[in-house]
Structure 1
Amino acid sequence: MAMKRGATAALWLVAAVAGMLLHADAQTLVYKYYAQKCPAAESIVFDEVQKAWNADRSMPASLLRLHFHDCFVNGCDGSVLLEASDGQAEKNAQPNLSLRGYDVVDRVKARLEATCKQTVSCADILAYAARDSVRVMTGGYKYEVPGGRPDGTVSRASMTGDLPPPKQRNVDQLARYFTSKGLTVDDMVVLSGAHTLGVARCGTFGYRLTSDGDKGMDAAFRNALRKQCNYNSNNVAALDAGSEYGFDTSYYANVLANRTVLESDAALNSPRTLARVTQLRGNQALFTSSFAAAMVKMGGLRGGYAGKVRDNCRRVRT
């Protein structure tokens, strides 16, 4: 939807005022939310996630990340999917430039609109898609996710300062990004386990490879990464070395062995979080159940700019 810049600004202002009046506190998320109004909703989401996984084994990691980045900016409202005519929506912010999966959401939304018009929110699609990403990667592990999230109406790049930065070694400072949202340090440790999937561009962590003085990385692992990156910031390395396509606990083993590419992951090898990391290492059942609970908790983060269910996840309904 094309709009002049002034009109866009006016829309944000109106939406912001409306958001203050429509703060989501009054609405509670409900399990089986679409059982009556759109019975096929969750199965349609799963079907498209499975198709995406069959075509690209890295897509589940991208869908998990998309949901996480959405929830940490003004709550889980689908605002990360919105586009702005001035190119300054959330997705245009530096931390979000590498996000993927928008096309998967578009396909899900198109099918849902054909089946149950303006019924299933984009925010709920993200939550279900994240759950189903775990489901396809584990061969069937499914946890229940409540629905009823209203779609947001505001998306600005300037609002993404709440996203935890990958360049953060201090676990206490890292934890503040989570506790400020009502999550706990334990939630942080468990949700970080999503890094058992996916990759990071060498440009994100290359500064850690320039000196042998970084005590947060195993020396042999650093040398291997140097060869893998080969001075090319666009090369990639697995977040969970040796298991980037397995939803397993090897991520925590790598944290303890100082074999993580991101400083925010290395930070978990700290006295404050060491016991929980050690507990999760090698205990798949505990990890999956803890991860499910933390994802449901994070998926309940609410924002203050709630609007109507969008018929197109990339734009606000008018």
Structure 2
Amino acid sequence: MIGAIFRAIRHKYLNLTFRSGDGYLVRIVERPGRWMDRAALGGLSDQLRQIAGRTLASGDLHYGVFSGDAASMENVIITLICRRDGVPIAFNALAVMQVDTQPQPTEVLHLGLVMVDPDERSKNLSWLLYGLTCFLIFVRRQFRPLWVSNVTQVPAVVGMVAEMFSNVWPAPGSGRRSLNHLLLGRGIMSGHRVVFGVGPEAGFDEDGFVITNAYTGGSDDLRKSWEAAPKHRDAQFNTYCADRLDYARGDDLLQLGQMDMAAMRRYLGREVPKSALVGLVLTAGLVGLRRVFLPVLHWADAGQQWSILRPWAVRRK
């Protein structure tokens, strides 16, 4: 843990490796295409392909995060989970999107592609794969609300996102769509379809945030029938998806929500196992150290230079 603290302070992007309370080894790598060398990128992609090979029946995958190409991994945050013996079992490839909004672009963290080894499912990995990285980014942003997006046809994922994040729309009982939801949804569909593999011919129903005929832009292998789509333990989410999505056509739901203080409390109180809570808080502390506590410490020292700030008492020759 001490080594991880010092590495996190030195590194511009997240590059954390730690053990979870469930005995798994978790690695979070932010924007690896910007700083990893070719060999390291290739090794990371190999681990992701191992998981995909166990999850899909479509053979080898060599696009996007599976390619080992730096350009494809410049704006992703990968959460990789391995067993103690080093065998990779699950990952989430989140995408950082700059959505064109006024008066300035809005950063949205897309929950992205998630794959779990079939032998490791139902082992409560969702708190690591979905909420953990969002929580750490939220801490690093000095607790400013962070928009997240999700594109899926899986009722279990629709329900998980609705329960974990705040201000989620659409979802059962979520009320009316806000203007922020509408503008972000339009911006994502107009400029970021490639992030979730939706082709230009796919339609978008702004009233229900349903993407029609969604599996034509590279995500074909991820399409599921209603029978094969994992269901949520709460039947309302299953009914919601069944009523709104045409699984024969290949529809998806676009969800938007936020990681904020309320979502953080829910995440820590309901999602994170008690055995992992202390380690998670320590990890969040080291992530916040660089962005929150160190600037305060530097600001208080008026005798030292920090970036563009100069000491107030500088003798001029």
- TM-score between both structures, scaled by the size of structure 1: 0.28
User: When you count strand as a share of all residues, which structure comes out higher?
Assistant: 2
| More contact order relative to length (CA 8 Å, sep ≥ 6) | 1
Larger radius of gyration: 2
- TM-score between both structures, scaled by the size of structure 2: 0.28
User: When you count helix as a share of all residues, which structure comes out higher?
Assistant: 1
